[in-house]
Structure 1
Amino acid sequence: MTITKNSETSRVTFEPAVIMGALYGPGIHGLKGAFDRKWVEELAKEIDVLYKDALQRPGGAVGRGPKRHYVEIHPEDISGFVDLVTHPWVKAVCETVLGPEYKIVEIGFDVPNPGAVNQPWHRDFPAPEDTVKGRRLNSLAFNITTVDVEEDMGPFEIAPGTQWDDGSEYESEMFPEKELYSRYEALAEQKMPKMGDISVRSALTIHRGTTNNSNKSRPVLVLGVDAPGANNHERHDLQITKKFYETLPEDLKGHLMCRIVDELEVIVQEHTIEGLKMGEA
């Protein structure tokens, strides 16, 4: 694992004002070259195996639109889990936005395959009271691409600043009506990260996956983190075996919202998003 080498870039990137400004402003932030390509190549191989396995199990891969799936996994399914969650930038972002008692609640991956279409504009879950009334973000989603994203691969698209939009009238409080699409399209930014880059966003910021016109998949690892009381762990089932838990750094253990088990159990995916299953509405 490597971190950004340029000292000036590192200093600015780790500044609390920069982190807060990005996530409370546009709703997305990133760090280029957070990991070396060999680390990402190994992650890509592991995700490929996990994805093939999930497709063979009933309910193993949850549909997020045509030719698009989400798979929740166990932390020890990937060799780089500890590298990821102890990365100085990841820790700095979590502590700055969510506070020192943040909890890791989810790890999984999205795979938009060739033929995936535009998703409807959406947020990943209804805005909590902390955000609606308190104007506070209480959860974050980190993303790591396992490929160099190109324009024809269905890049992730986000409408900056929309994490603060009132979603009370949205379908399921997640899906804005089509009359609002022109606004999101005017704001939209497509993200084309390279292997080694990492980003973090509020899952409330309106976003969508776009059409994959290429012959390549675009897998992306997802790490979900909560502030105390956010309760997104109720949508997930983070499990760690006792054997693996004993190998973890002591300061990491307190940041895991998980079950300690003798043997890993098949995950029953709780975070289905019905409005995404059929593609663009």
Structure 2
Amino acid sequence: MVQSIGRVNKYTDTDLNRFAEDLNRDGICVIRGLFDKELISEWAKAFENLFRERQNQPGGLAPREIARYYLTLPWVSPFANVEVFANPVIMGVLERVFFQEYVMVQLGVDLPVQGSDYQEIHRDYRPLFSDQIVTPLYALAVNFPLVEVTAENGPFQMARGTHILPREEGLRKIATGEIPMESFYMELGDAMIRTPLALHRGSPNRTNQPRPMVVMGYAMHWLHTPKVDLTLQRDYYESLPENLRQMIRCQVVEQLPKEKVETYVNFKY
């Protein structure tokens, strides 16, 4: 297991156990006020500049249906922050639900803009074997927004508990209203951890401002994840503690590329 770094802030072992229980039962847990709002503000400003740059680069944004995009964050300041990707609260929850070594495989942003619509209800991963065998939590996404998430700007929607149901059964229960599609509203500093196997969708952003949602992906060490990638510059990578170097599945380069062509295009199951 990767050992957490730093102090577990204001959260107790009881809190972390509860988050892990929520995650196992519902497929999601929400951690209120995890990150400092000044940190989020710094990320938001840097992201705004990055998004403008990527808009002008061929392949700089991956399409996510109408008026919705995905982009990989470069491993530079302020995004390359140990207190975020190896946050002790996040690590504390992951260590309670992953029963083998895990790795970080993804750092990106989901971005609906004005004109976006409801996504088709989907999963981001397939079951390990079949729908008839319950898949354990073998991959998790940690999300936190760079703006407040309201009913108007495209909240993430998910049906709790559908990660342990066959896909068709989950869709049927959503259609009949037995399991609701729940919108998750978030304030600056909030974070959520969720399984990509739970049935979910993006909702429309009806405002004139983008709604950036950071996604950090973690998975069991044996999972093959070719659609997402991390690239770290050697001097930064070698400055990290050994346990964090082992945790990050990445390509190490002498110099980060100036342009990024997104390859994470197919994302629905």
Verify same fold: TM over 0.5.
yes
Name the counterpart of 1:204. Answer: 197
Q: Deviations over 1:129-173 (max 9, x none)?
A: 398636311000000101111211121111001112323x79xxx
Q: Deviations over 1:87-129 (max 9, x none)?
A: 1111112212223521000110011112211111111122223
Name the counterpart of 1:99. Answer: 99
CA contact (8 A) 1:108 1:222 kept: yes
Instruction: Name the CA distance, whole Å, in 1 between partners of 2:149 and 2:241.
Output: 33
Instruction: Name the CA distance, whole Å, in 2 between partners of 1:270 and 1:149.
Output: 27
Change (3 A) 1:94 1:275: closer
Q: Structure 1, unaligned stretches of length 5 or more?
A: 171-175, 277-281
Q: Deviations over 1:175-211 (max 9, x none)?
A: x87x665146842111011010111100111111111
Name the counterpart of 2:3. Answer: none
Shift of the alpha carbon at 1:51? Answer: 1.3
Q: Equivalent residue of 2:247, what SS?
A: coil
> How is 1:100-139 mapped onto 2 (pairs within 5 angstroms)?
101-129=101-129, 133=133, 135-139=135-139
Name the counterpart of 1:173. Answer: none
TM-score w.r.t. structure 1 length? 0.84
The amino acid across from 1:249 in the alignment is P
Q: Equivalent residue of 1:94, what SS?
A: helix
Change (3 A) 1:268 1:216: closer
Q: Deviations over 1:44-95 (max 9, x none)?
A: 1111122112111111101112111000123225345311122111111221
Instruction: Name the CA distance, whole Å, in 2 between partners of 1:158 and 1:236.
Output: 22
Shift of the alpha carbon at 1:4? Answer: 7.7
Name the counterpart of 2:65. Answer: 65
Name the counterpart of 1:279. Answer: none
CA contact (8 A) 2:27 2:198 kept: yes
Instruction: Name the CA distance, whole Å, in 2 between partners of 1:125 and 1:226.
Output: 11
CA contact (8 A) 1:143 1:220 kept: yes
Instruction: Name the CA distance, whole Å, in 1 between partners of 2:162 and 2:131.
Output: 12
Change (3 A) 1:97 1:11: closer
Moved more, 88-97 or 136-145: 88-97
CA contact (8 A) 1:124 1:204 kept: yes
Instruction: Name the CA distance, whole Å, in 2 between partners of 1:191 and 1:203.
Output: 15
Q: Structure 2, unaligned stretches of length 5 or more?
A: 1-5
Task: Give the one of 238, 243, 257 matched to 1:251.
Answer: 243
2:74 equivalent to 1:74: yes
Moved more, 96-105 or 197-206: 96-105
Change (3 A) 1:251 1:118: same
Identity %: 27
Instruction: Name the CA distance, whole Å, in 1 between partners of 2:49 and 2:202.
Output: 23
2:4 equivalent to 1:12: no
Task: Give the one of 198, 218, 221 matched to 1:225.
Answer: 218
Shift of the alpha carbon at 1:252? Answer: 1.1
Instruction: Name the CA distance, whole Å, in 1 between partners of 2:125 and 2:135.
Output: 16
Instruction: Name the CA distance, whole Å, in 1 between partners of 2:120 and 2:35.
Output: 31
The amino acid across from 1:217 in the alignment is P
TM-score w.r.t. structure 2 length? 0.88
The amino acid across from 1:165 in the alignment is L
Instruction: Name the CA distance, whole Å, in 2 between partners of 1:218 and 1:145.
Output: 8
Name the counterpart of 2:31. Answer: 31
CA contact (8 A) 1:157 1:210 kept: yes
C-alpha RMSD of the superposition: 2.6
Aligned residues: 263
Change (3 A) 1:185 1:240: farther
2:135 equivalent to 1:142: no
Instruction: Name the CA distance, whole Å, in 2 between partners of 1:117 and 1:185.
Output: 24
